[in-house]
């Protein structure tokens, strides 16, 4: 997974654990696609200060993920759900029983709500 995407996801999961300033700057940089210079100008601080705040926030996000592993667990569950849905499709494709097809469709709908 690309580093920017990973940090963006971590920010969504653990953002409330950061300081307000760390959250705002990381959100601007990774989700709003602002440059360090743009963020510095908007916040009336130096580009280096922006970089330092973002780096400290990133380190905090990675520490939290290392300890709590919410992102890892979520990605693993999503992968497992996709595998189950693929297996359901295989069963549907090979089964001619209409009752089984209806049951599988209900199960698929429930699983899609979780994905």
Q: Report pLDDT digits (tens) over 98-113.
A: 888 888 888 888 888 8
> 35-74: b or e for each residue (b if 16 or more CB lie within 10 Å)?
ebeebbeeeeeeeebbeebbebbbebbeebbeeeeebeee
What does the pLDDT average to over 79-94? 87
pTM: 0.77
């Amino acid at each position: 997974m690309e580093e920017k995407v990973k940090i963006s996801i971590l920010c969504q999961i653990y953002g409330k654990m950061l300081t307000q300033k760390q959250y705002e700057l990381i959100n601007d940089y990774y989700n709003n696609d602002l440059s360090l210079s743009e963020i510095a100008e908007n916040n009336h601080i130096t580009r280096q200060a922006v970089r330092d705040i973002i780096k400290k926030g990133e380190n905090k996000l990675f520490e939290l993920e290392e300890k709590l592993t919410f992102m890892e667990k979520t990605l693993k569950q999503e992968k497992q759900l996709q595998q189950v849905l693929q297996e359901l499709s295989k069963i549907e494709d090979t089964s001619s029983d209409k009752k089984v097809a209806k049951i599988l469709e209900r199960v698929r709908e429930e699983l899609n709500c979780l994905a």
